[in-house]
Amino acid sequence: MISTKRIAVVTGASSGIGLATVRELARRGFHVLAGVRKQQDADRLASENVEPVIVDITDEEQVAALAEHVAHDPQGRPLGALVNNAGVALNAPVEAIPLAEWRRHFDVNFFGHVALTQALLPALIEGGDGRLVNVSSIGGRVAFPTYGAYAAAKFALEGFSDALRREVGRLGVKVIVIEPGNVATPMWGKGIATMDELAASMTADQHARYDDLVAAMHKQAEAQKGGGIQPLDAAKVIAKAIEARKPRTRYLVGRDARVGAVVSGLLSDRAFDRFVARSLGLTVRLEKPVDPSTTGRPNARATVWSGEV
Ligand SMILES: NC(=O)c1ccc[n+]([C@@H]2O[C@H](COP(=O)([O-])OP(=O)(O)OC[C@H]3O[C@@H](n4cnc5c(N)ncnc54)[C@H](OP(=O)(O)O)[C@@H]3O)[C@@H](O)[C@H]2O)c1
């Protein structure tokens, strides 16, 4: 019998926003293929309307197997939605993140989503009125210090989404970007662990340059870990966008995300730099006269981050 249900694929479904989205879409009647990396997560998730699938989005064979699975659905259900949600946190000063880590980060937070999109786009187009949801972040609009890698990958995802929307809108697929602020998920704890690991391998010079900044960001992340909206709040926005006849192209999720977007849009780059520095208890201090012959600028001074003055 051909089912009238539509399939939704959600990546990163083991916890947080992905898990909540799986449950919300299943509740709304989708047959949800819930992408997880570990068998124990798959066993835990299987339930009515939820079919766990093992997919690490950086593994080309697993991505191809998922596309095959969707194309040969035993009940002939069309693919109605793809939610590119999987993600990892990486917080450290730009120069303290080894290049291999930058690449690994982009493999998950950007190229993995490109791979899933390429693999499932044909089915999404064929299914008719498909929805492709990319879970970005307020970090896809605003780049905070130590969030260089995370923001760079999210900015890339935003640009990718804009181009894709203009390519496939006429083929019946609507591309939607979700931009949450702080959501209470395990990501914050994982991010702090990575931050500590990278900080531990900084050189002595890097410690001298960034210890105050890293400490301020650590404190902020610890404070944010306990707060934020619930994953279900983000999941409801995703589900609403998937079911809306005319979804918006972008959804800021949470008050902090909306405020962050407005403030960063109103202020000049330099004014926003000062706002960020002050909110972290850091300020830009002019220090150490610089030999003008090395800068070509008379009266030049080195600018360094310092503790609050
Ligand atoms: N939490 C926030 O405040 C916040 C704010 C803005 C945006 N976001 C975005 O929301 C999305 C979900 O994050 P979350 O907060 O819900 O974090 P989370 O609970 O840590 O969930 C991340 C999910 O991604 C999965 N994942 C990691 N690497 C993967 C890979 N290579 N292949 C497939 N899955 C992988 C994890 O699986 P494992 O369990 O197997 O590691 C987990 O299921 C991310 O894109 C994140 O950037 C979160």
Alpha helices in 131-285 (DSSP H): 148-168, 187-200, 204-225, 231-243, 255-266, 269-279
Nearest residue (CA) to ligand 1, atom 44: 87
Give me the pLDDT at residue 227, please: 86
51 Cα: distance to centroid of ligand 1 (angstroms): 19
Nearest residue (CA) to ligand 1, atom 2: 183
Asked whether the predicted pLDDT for residue 2 surpasses 70, the reply is no
Is the separation of the CB atoms in 116 and 57 below 8 Å? yes
Pick from 2-6, 36-40, 123-127, 187-191: least confident: 2-6
The distance from CA 246 to its chain's CA centroid, rounded to whole angstroms, is: 24
Which atom of ligand 1 is nearest to 231's Cα? 16
- Structural domains in the chain (count): 1
Residue for token pair 């998950």: 108
The distance from CA 187 to its chain's CA centroid, rounded to whole angstroms, is: 10
pLDDT tens digits for range 237-265: 999 999 999 999 999 999 999 999 999 99
Give me the pLDDT at residue 308, please: 39
**Interval 117-143 mean pLDDT:** 97
Pairing of strands 173-180, 50-54: unpaired
In a domain, 203, yes or no: no
Of 28, 17, 115, 121, the C-alpha closest to 64 is 115
Give me the pLDDT at residue 224, please: 85
CA angle 221, 15, 82 (to 5 degrees): 110
- Residue 170: give its domain's CATH number: 3.40.50.720
Is the separation of the CB atoms in 266 and 172 below 8 Å? no
Asked whether the predicted pLDDT for residue 298 surpasses 70, the reply is no
Give me the pLDDT at residue 223, please: 87
In a domain, 219, yes or no: no
16 CB contacts (<8 Å, ≥6 apart)? 183, 185, 186, 187, 231
Asked whether the predicted pLDDT for residue 300 surpasses 90, the reply is no
Question: The tokens of 82 are what?
Answer: 């793809």
In a domain, 238, yes or no: yes
Residue ranges around ligand 1 (CB below 6 Å): 11-18, 37-38, 56-58, 85-88, 108, 112, 135, 137, 180, 182-183, 185-187, 190, 228
pLDDT tens digits for range 48-98: 999 999 999 999 999 999 999 999 999 999 999 999 999 999 999 999 999
262 Cα: distance to centroid of ligand 1 (angstroms): 25
Asked whether the predicted pLDDT for residue 301 surpasses 70, the reply is no
In a domain, 189, yes or no: no
Cross-sheet strand order for the sheet of 79-84: 50-54, 31-36, 7-10, 79-84, 130-135, 173-180, 250-253
Give dist(CA 271, CA 8) in Å, integer: 43
In a domain, 215, yes or no: no
Pick from 37-46, 186-195, 256-265, 294-303: least confident: 294-303
In a domain, 199, yes or no: no
Residue 183 DSSP one-character state = B
Pairing of strands 130-135, 79-84: parallel
Give me the pLDDT at residue 1, please: 46
205 Cα: distance to centroid of ligand 1 (angstroms): 32
In a domain, 284, yes or no: no
Give dist(CA 140, CA 156) in Å, integer: 8
Give me the pLDDT at residue 225, please: 83
Comparison of pLDDT for 38 and 224, the residue scoring more: 38
In a domain, 298, yes or no: no
Q: Give the domain range for residue 66.
A: 7-184+228-266
**Interval 192-216 mean pLDDT:** 94
90 Cα: distance to centroid of ligand 1 (angstroms): 12
The pTM of the full predicted model, rounded to 2 decimals, is 0.92
Pick from 2-6, 8-12, 43-47, 270-274: least confident: 2-6
The distance from CA 46 to its chain's CA centroid, rounded to whole angstroms, is: 25
Task: Return the best residue to mutate from 36, 37, 66, 109 for the ligand 1 pocket (most ligand atoms within 8 A of CB).
Answer: 37
Residue 26 DSSP one-character state = H
Give dist(CA 229, CA 150) in Å, integer: 20
Asked whether the predicted pLDDT for residue 294 surpasses 60, the reply is no
**Interval 109-132 mean pLDDT:** 98
pLDDT tens digits for range 148-192: 999 999 999 999 999 999 999 999 999 999 999 999 999 999 999
Strand, helix or coil for residue 299: coil
Residue 36 DSSP one-character state = E
Nearest residue (CA) to ligand 1, atom 39: 14
Active site members = 150
Task: Return the best residue to mutate from 22, 23, 54, 185 for the ligand 1 pocket (most ligand atoms within 8 A of CB).
Answer: 185
39 CB contacts (<8 Å, ≥6 apart)? 54
**Interval 300-308 mean pLDDT:** 41
Nearest residue (CA) to ligand 1, atom 28: 87
Mean of the per-residue pLDDT values of the chain: 92
